[in-house]
Amino acid sequence: MGFTLKALELDESLAEAHNVLASIYTYVDFNWKLAEESYLRAIELNPNYSTAHHYYSEHLSITGRHEKARQHIDKALELDPLSFVIRYVSVKLYYNRGLFEEALLDNQRSHELNPGHFWSAQYDFEINYQLGNQQKAFEGLKNYYVISGYEHPEKMDSIFQTSGNRGAIKQMIEVAEKDYDKSRILWAVR
Q: Is the pLDDT of residue 7 over 70?
A: no
- DSSP-derived 3-state class of residue 46: coil
pTM of the model: 0.82
The conformation of residue 169, written as its DSSP 8-state character, comes to H
For the residues of 100-128, what is the DSSP string, one character each?
Answer: HHHHHHHHHHHHHHSTT-HHHHHHHHHHH
- Convert the pLDDT of each residue in 114-123 to its tens digit: 988 989 999 9
Q: For residue 159, what are the CA distances in angstroms to 120, 142, 169? A: 22, 10, 10
> What are the chain's domains?
1-81 (1.25.40.10)
Q: Is the pLDDT of residue 190 over 50?
A: no
Question: Do 45 and 15 touch, CB atoms closer than 8 A?
Answer: yes
- Convert the pLDDT of each residue in 164-186 to its tens digit: 777 877 876 776 676 655 544 44
